[in-house]
Structures are given as structure tokens and as C-alpha cells.
Structure 1
Amino acid sequence: MNREAVLLGYYRAMQAELGPSRWWPGDTSFEIALGAILTQNTAWANVEKAMHNLRESGLLEPGALARLNDDEVAALIRPAGAFRVKAVRVRNFLNFLHEKCDLDMDGLRGETVEGLRPALLEVSGIGPETADSILLYALGLPSFVVDAYTRRILGRHGLIPEDIGYGELRDFFMDVLPPDVALYNEYHALIVRTGKNWCAKKAGKCASCPLAVFLEEFSPLTCVGKSIIPHP
């Protein structure tokens, strides 16, 4: 069985169990991009509180937010944690938008992943996962997002080595899957939902996991098993 078939098999198993995810929450591309920055190293519930502050203040728009100083931004996004650091990252992103598209994210719509991703990665505070989240969820560009859940699930199923880098892991999907925005969007969302509900860091609930069918033997405590699928 080839890697494409393996990955699509995992996708269909999660989709059948969990149904549609309807990610990423946000009414505008800027709101989605901002959420991707604020969610770094914090729970989404905290991000929602910060976004609520911005929404209630009429600041979920790049021009309005850009008029604030960093201390004012920090106070509003405080619930998201590391608020002073994230205020600077938000400022850096706003500066990028100002230079790139005059603070109008619709001006990025004609860009490609190959052209825009390197530019985003040059923005201080935007790493690969955040950049790919902005590309995929905010701009509808086919850039697969991988995260700790992706690494944990595939690693425990014996599909990837433990020390695989972000780029390699992203390519593990993008090298064989079609560049389909809807597929990438839903696949990442399903991985996160499966990881949160079944594949916790310390103890996996393997017996009831949607992906249990892909394991021949497993331990309820570690979720480490022997994959019935040959390593691609």
C-alpha cells in the first residue's frame, strides 16, 4: 500500500467517526490570521477571550489595530498569554501587511504558496506552523499544516521517525496528496480533534480511537503499537 493510500485511509477513518470540522473559526481572513498568531502556545479558549476583547473594541480590522501602540494591543490580548511578546508579533504581522498589501489581506489573494510562504517566514514571530495556518485557513492556499498532534499520531503508528523535522513532516503529506485546500483544511482539523480526544501526550485511548483499526497491537497506556500498514 502506498503512502497516498495510507494517508487517505487515515483521513477517511477520522472523517467517518468525527464528521465535518468546519475550521478555522473567524469571519474574515485577517481575524483568522490573527487567531493563528495568538494561539501559539495557548489553548483556543484563551484566544477566544482575546478575540472577544478586540471585537468588542471594534479592532478586528488591520487598519484599526495598527493605530494602537504595543502596550494597548498587549492589554487587549492579555487572555491569550505571553501578551507582550504576542503584541510585538501582531505588530510585525501588521507591518508585513502594510508593506505587502497596504493592510488589505485581499491583496494577497493572487499570491502562491511558493511566493508567499517564504515572505511570511521572514516575519519575526511567525514560524512554519503559523505561516501554514495563515496560508491555508486565512487565504485558502494549499499549504498543509502539521503540529504536535500530527507528529504524535503518525509517530505512534510507526509511519514517521521520532526526529522528523517540520518540513519533512509537511512534505510527508504534500508529496503525495493532491494540492486540495478543502482536503488539507479538514485533514489537519481531524488530526487535532483526534489528538485532543484520544492521543494525549502521556496516555492514549487507543481502543476507542478512530485510528485503532490501523494498529495490530497496542498498549492502552502508551498507544505504541505495530502498524499493519507497511512503512511507506
Structure 2
Amino acid sequence: MNRESLLMGYYEALHTAIGPCHWWPGETPFEIAVGAILVQNTNWKNVEKAIHNLKENDALTIRGLRKLSIDELQDLIRPSGFFKIKSERLTNFLSFLDEKSADCITDLAAFETADLRQQLLSVKGIGPETADSILLYALGKPIFVVDAYTRRIFNRHMLIHEDIEYHELQDFFMDVLNEDVELFNEYHALIVKAAKKWCKKTNPDCTNCPLGEFLKN
């Protein structure tokens, strides 16, 4: 079985078992981008609390976030952890939008994907996973997001090495899959859910994992 057939087989097995994921959670592209920054080094439940605080204070827009003092911003995003660092990263992102004369985050979609990715990576505090999450989920750009869950599952199946770096892991998918925003979106979400439900860091439930059944066939 070639890699494309294998990866699509994994996708179909997970999609059949889990169903549509409707990921990334967020009502607007800007909310998705803010969530991508806040979720660094924490879990989504903590981010939801911070997002709720921002919404309650009409601060989940570019204009609303700019109106906050640094102390106000830090207090609202405190549940996400590392709130001082993350407030600085959000401020850096707002400055980036200013530099690009982006009144709305979707204005960035006019840039070519590879160029915009490099520009996002130049923003202090935005790394590859965060940049790619913004590109895919907020701007609808065809780029595959990988993370620790991706590394865990595919390393356990001996398809990648344990110390594979981000871009090599990303290429493992993008070199063979069609550049399809919906596919990339759903695939990453399925990987995250599978890792949390079956392929846990400790005590993985390999017996009930749909990928195990797929590999048997």
C-alpha cells in the first residue's frame, strides 16, 4: 500500500468511527486566531474560559482587543495560563495586522500561502503550529497542521521516527495528499480526537482503536 492510500485509509477509518468534527471551534476567523495563540501550552477547556471572558467584555474583535490595557488583557486571558507571555503574543499579532493594514483578519487571505506563512512566523511568539492553525482554520489556506498527537499516533504505528521535526512531519502528509482545506481540517481534528480517546500518552486503548482494525484488514 502506498503512502497516499495508507493515509486516506487512516482518515476513512477515523471518520467512520468518530464522524464529522466541525473543528476549529470559533464563531469568527479572528476568534479562531486568538484561540490558536491562547491554546499554546494548555488545554482547550482553559482557552474556552479565556475566550468567554473576552466575549463578555466585547474584546473578541480587533477593535475590542486594542481597547484593552495590558493589565485588562492579562486578567481576561488568565485562565489560559502564561497570561503575561500570551498577552504579549496577542499584542504582537495585533501589531502584525496593523503592519499589513488588515482591518479584518480575512484581509490576510489575499496573500499567497507560503509568503503569508513566513510573515506569520516572523511574529514573535507565533511558531509553525500556531501559524498553520491560523492559515488553515481562520483563513482557509490548504496547509496541514501537525502536533504532538500526530507524532504520537504515527510513531506508534512505526510510520515516522520519534524525533521527527515539525516540517518533516507536515511533509509526510502534504507530499501525497491533495491540497484540500476541508480534508486537512477534518483530518487534523480526527487525529486529535483519536489521540485523546484511544491513543493516549499512557495506557493507550489499542484494542478499540479503529486504526488497529483498519491495519488488520
Q: TM-score w.r.t. structure 2 length? A: 0.97
Question: In 2, distance between residues paired with 1:187 and 1:113?
Answer: 20
Which SS does the other structure have where 1:188 is aligned?
A: helix
Task: Tell me if 1:149 matches 2:149.
Answer: yes
Find the counterpart in structure 2 of residue 197 from structure 1: 197
Cα deviation, 1:165-202, whole Å, max 9, x if unaligned, reads 10000000001000000000000000000000011112
What residue number does 2:108 align with?
108
CA-to-aligned-CA distance 1:67-120 (integer Å, 9 cap, x gap): 223222111100101111100000011111111133421211212221100000
1:20 aligns with 2:52: no
Alpha-carbon distance in structure 1 between the residues aligned to 2:168 and 2:30 = 28
Q: In proportion to residue count, which structure has more helix?
A: 2
Counterpart of 1:137?
A: 137
Deviation at 1:127, TM superposition (A): 0.6
SS where residue 101 of structure 1 aligns? coil
Quote the offset at 1:215 in angstroms: 4.7
**Do 1:157 and 1:215's aligned partners in 2 also have CA atoms closer than 8 Å?**
no
Checking the alignment, whether the CA contact within 8 Å between 1:112 and 1:141 is kept in structure 2 is no
Q: Distance in 2 between matches of 1:106 and 1:200?
A: 35
Question: Which amino acid in structure 2 is aligned with residue 109 of structure 1?
Answer: A
CA contact (8 A) 2:59 2:68 kept: no
How many percent identity over aligned positions? 59
Instruction: For 2:176 and 2:102, locate their aligned partners in 1 and report how far apart those are by CA, in whole Å.
Output: 36
How many angstroms apart in 2 are the aligned matches of 1:9 and 1:110?
Answer: 34
Q: Distance in 2 between matches of 1:152 and 1:83?
A: 28
- Matched-pair contact (CA < 8 Å) for 1:101–1:108: no
Q: Secondary structure at the match of 1:60?
A: coil
- For 1:53-202, list aligned pairs within 5 A: 53-202=53-202
Task: Give the count of matched residue pairs.
Answer: 217
TM-score by length of 1: 0.91
CA–CA separation in structure 2 for the residues paired with 1:102 and 1:134: 15
Question: C-alpha root-mean-square deviation of aligned residues, in Å?
Answer: 1.2
**Following superposition, which runs of at least 4 residues in structure 1 exceed 4 angstroms of deviation?**
none
Find the counterpart in structure 1 of residue 213 from structure 2.
213
Where 2:210 maps in the other structure, the secondary structure is coil
Higher RCO (C-alpha 8 Å, min separation 6): 2
